């Protein structure tokens, strides 16, 4: 039984509550888990946003007429709706239950990533990082400085999908690995060309880590060990389907 | 360093080429990998379809006028387009490049799961299993009979997504575990209610195994060990978003 080629998903426990200005790399290295060169470090967006101070006190938010109108229809807090609108480039769908919008980064998701859960204080919400690819790169560099290791870093959030119920964890920031794996031009085991086969590796890694990052468990960081990845300077922004080739906006 | 709670992804190598009528459970148990009670066994749709004889000889297919028209526009084999139409309940989008349709099961994907790759013979294509949940249940039962083990079984295929590039592995058949994990009504670490949080666990497990099931590698089976799941009699059909609550058809 040869298990040399297995992949391991390791939950990182014991991180403290993260506050604005905290050095996430130092906090992660301070746990009992020893990161190794070649690991993929997967970090939940929430703690990245907290360390970067991407938090909004709803008491400071003045909702627009549009926000008030949507909030009335959806029976939500108009201040939260205002923050969602501020974080959105455009609204993709909006009905009595949900706002699906395109964030300023280009991600399409519910509520533009604005979230009340796991944020201290009833009147506070968290936003997505301003530039999650840059957040991932900085974390990768900082881990290298502090521990002399070369790892890939993913920042993830849970997104809904068209056509299928439930959320899955997806990559919103990537540093050090190729988010997409392109098999076009290669052949299958029967010598036929593989047509249109590009695998969204970063999202599969994110989903795998999602199995450990449950909403109520305090596991915002997962180490993926044993996955051989292609290095790349591309970020998660390369996963976004260009508008002109997207049939579902 | 406590790794009791890690999840392991084990690639199963050494399966022979699968043919119609083959006993997949026996073939899997015949490899060097010892399945254990509590494992999640993830099986690529292609070998399930082969074992069930879900293969079509294109030489026997007579394309309709509609198939010929679409094929001309997309510069494809009209016989393949005919098979895609036969496997579809309705067409969701269709342009110069792709047919996105709803399969008879209710899955929304490109080409209704019809695939030329990794099928022997230039003129043969594979179809999705008729009832992948039933295929998963039968495989689970058969593994229990042959090896006295109780495992969960997933059958997966790679699907594209709206808004994001690349394919990810997704669950099309599920037996023995709850495909969706519902946190609604529970509270987060700060005592706030978790709103609208349902995790698509079966798809996260499928995506995790997709990291090992690469298109050109001969790894159609992956064992996921160490993941604690809720048992359930629900299948992958429960993941399909009901039409009336789907904003993207």
Distance CA B24, CA B143 (A): 9
Residue-level pLDDT at A245: 87
Contact A188 B246 (CB under 8 A): no
Contact A186 B216 (CB under 8 A): yes
Q: In what order do the strands lie in the sheet with B108-110?
A: B88-94, B99-103, B108-110
Residues of A in contact with B201 (CB under 8 A): 166, 211
Contact A161 B158 (CB under 8 A): no
For chain B, give every residue range classified as CATH 3.90.1660.10.
56-124
B68 has pLDDT over 60: yes
Residue-level pLDDT at A11: 95
A22 has pLDDT over 80: yes
Contact B215 A199 (CB under 8 A): yes
Contact B162 A207 (CB under 8 A): no
Residue-level pLDDT at B117: 83
Residue-level pLDDT at A199: 94
**Pairing status of strand A181-182 against strand A55-57:** unpaired
Q: DSSP for chain A, please give it.
A: ---TT-EEEEEE--PPPP-TT--HHHHHHTSS----TT-EEEEEHHHHHHHTT-EEEGGG----HHHHHHHHHHT--HHHHHHHHHTEEEEEEE-SS-EEEEETTS-EEEGGG-B-TT-SSTTEEE---S-HHHHHHHHHHHHHHHH----EEEEEEEE--SSB-SBEEEEEEEESS-SSEE-TT-B-TTS-B--S-EE-HHHHHHHHHHTT--TTSS--EEEEES------S--GGGGBPPGGG-S--
Confidence of residue B184 (pLDDT cuts 50, 70, 90): confident
A123 has pLDDT over 80: yes
Global ipTM = 0.95
Residue of A nearest to B219 (CA): A189
Residue of B nearest to A227 (CA): B211
pLDDT tens, residue by residue, B128-143: 999 999 999 999 999 9
For chain B, give every residue range classified as CATH 3.30.1330.100.
8-50+129-241
- In terms of CATH, what superfamily is B8-50+129-241? CofE-like (3.30.1330.100)
A50 has pLDDT over 80: yes
Average pLDDT, chain B: 93
Distance CA B137, CA B126 (A): 21
- Cross-chain CB nearest to B166 (options A180, A195, A218): A180
For chain A, give every residue range classified as CATH 3.30.1330.100.
8-53+129-244
Distance CA A40, CA A200 (A): 15
Confidence of residue B2 (pLDDT cuts 50, 70, 90): very low
B59: DSSP letter: G
Residue in B12, B207, B236 to test binding to A, most A beta-carbons within 10 Å: B207
User: For the purposes of burial, counting CB atoms within 10 Å of the CB of B185, is it exposed (0-12), middle (13-18) or buried (19 or more)?
Assistant: exposed
Residues of A in contact with B197 (CB under 8 A): 117, 158, 167, 215
pLDDT above 90 coverage of chain A, percent: 82
Quote the pTM value: 0.95
Task: Count other C-beta atoms under 10 Å from residue A191's C-beta.
Answer: 8
- Cross-chain CB nearest to B165 (options A3, A195, A198): A198
B111 has pLDDT over 70: yes
Distance CA B146, CA B143 (A): 5
Residue-level pLDDT at A58: 97
Mean pLDDT within A117-128: 89
According to CATH, the topology of domain A8-53+129-244 is 60s Ribosomal Protein L30; Chain: A; (3.30.1330)
pLDDT above 70 coverage of chain B, percent: 95
Mean pLDDT within A88-107: 94
A1 has pLDDT over 50: no
To which H or E segment does residue B205 belong? helix B201-210
Contact A180 B161 (CB under 8 A): no
Q: How many CA atoms lie within 13 A of B237 on its CB side?
A: 15
Residue-level pLDDT at B195: 60
B105: DSSP letter: T
First-last CA distance in chain A: 48
B193 has pLDDT over 70: no
pLDDT tens, residue by residue, A206-235: 999 999 997 666 899 999 999 999 999 999
Confidence of residue B185 (pLDDT cuts 50, 70, 90): confident
Helix axes B78-86, B65-74, angle to 10 degrees: 120
Contact B164 A241 (CB under 8 A): yes
Pick the CATH number of B56-124 from 2.60.40.10, 3.60.110.10, 3.90.1660.10, 3.30.2130.10: 3.90.1660.10
Residue of B nearest to A102 (CA): B163
pLDDT tens, residue by residue, B6-62: 999 999 999 999 999 999 999 999 998 999 999 999 999 999 999 999 999 999 999
């Amino acid at each position: 039984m040869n298990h040399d080629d297995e992949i391991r998903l390791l939950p990182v426990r014991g991180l403290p509550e993260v506050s604005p200005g905290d050095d996430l790399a130092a906090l992660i290295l301070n746990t009992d888990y020893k990161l190794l060169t070649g690991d993929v470090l997967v970090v939940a967006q929430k703690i990245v946003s907290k360390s970067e101070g991407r938090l909004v006190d709803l008491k400071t938010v003045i909702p627009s007429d549009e926000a008030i109108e949507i909030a009335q229809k959806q029976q939500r807090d108009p201040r939260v709706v205002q923050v969602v609108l501020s974080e959105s480039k455009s609204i993709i769908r909006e009905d009595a239950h949900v706002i699906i919008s395109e964030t300023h980064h280009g991600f399409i998701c519910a509520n533009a990533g604005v979230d009340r859960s796991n944020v201290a204080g009833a009147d506070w919400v968290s936003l997505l990082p301003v530039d999650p690819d840059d957040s991932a790169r900085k974390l990768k560099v900082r881990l290298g400085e502090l521990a002399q290791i070369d790892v890939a870093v993913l920042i993830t959030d849970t997104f809904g999908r068209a056509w299928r119920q439930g959320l899955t964890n997806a990559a919103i920031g990537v540093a050090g690995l190729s988010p997409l794996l392109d098999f076009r031009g290669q052949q299958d085991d029967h010598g036929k060309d593989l047509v249109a086969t590009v695998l969204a590796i970063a999202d599969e890694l994110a989903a795998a880590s999602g199995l450990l990052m449950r909403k109520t468990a305090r596991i915002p960081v997962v180490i993926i060990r044993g996955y051989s990845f292609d290095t790349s300077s591309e970020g998660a922004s390369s996963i976004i389907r260009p508008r002109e080739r997207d049939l579902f906006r």
